[in-house]
Amino acid sequence: MVIRYKRGQAAIESLIVFGIVFFIFIAIFMLYTDKNHDIRLTEIELELLDDCTKIANNIDNLYFIGSGSSIEFMIYNNFTIEPGSKRIFQENTFCRFSYSRVSNDNVSFGNFDLDQGRVRLIYDSGMIKASNI
Q: 0.95 exceeded by the pTM?
A: no
Q: pLDDT digit string (tens) for 87-103?
A: 999 988 899 999 888 99
Q: At residue 7, does pLDDT exceed 60?
A: no
The answer to whether residues 40 and 47 touch, using CB atoms and an 8 Å cutoff, is no
Q: At residue 9, does pLDDT exceed 80?
A: no
Provide, rounded to the nearest whole percent, the portion of the chain with pLDDT above 90: 68
What is the reported pLDDT for 3?
A: 61
Q: pLDDT digit string (tens) for 38-65?
A: 999 999 999 999 999 999 999 999 999 9
What is the reported pLDDT for 107?
A: 64
Average pLDDT over residues 109-132: 91
Q: Which amino acid is at 126?
A: G
Which residues does residue 96 pair with via DSSP β-bridges, in sequence order? 87
What is the reported pLDDT for 35?
A: 96
The answer to whether residues 121 and 130 touch, using CB atoms and an 8 Å cutoff, is yes
Q: What is the 3-state secondary structure (H, E, C) of 30-79?
A: HHHHHHHHHHHHHHHHHHHHHHHHHHHHHHHHHHHHCCCCEEEEEECCCE
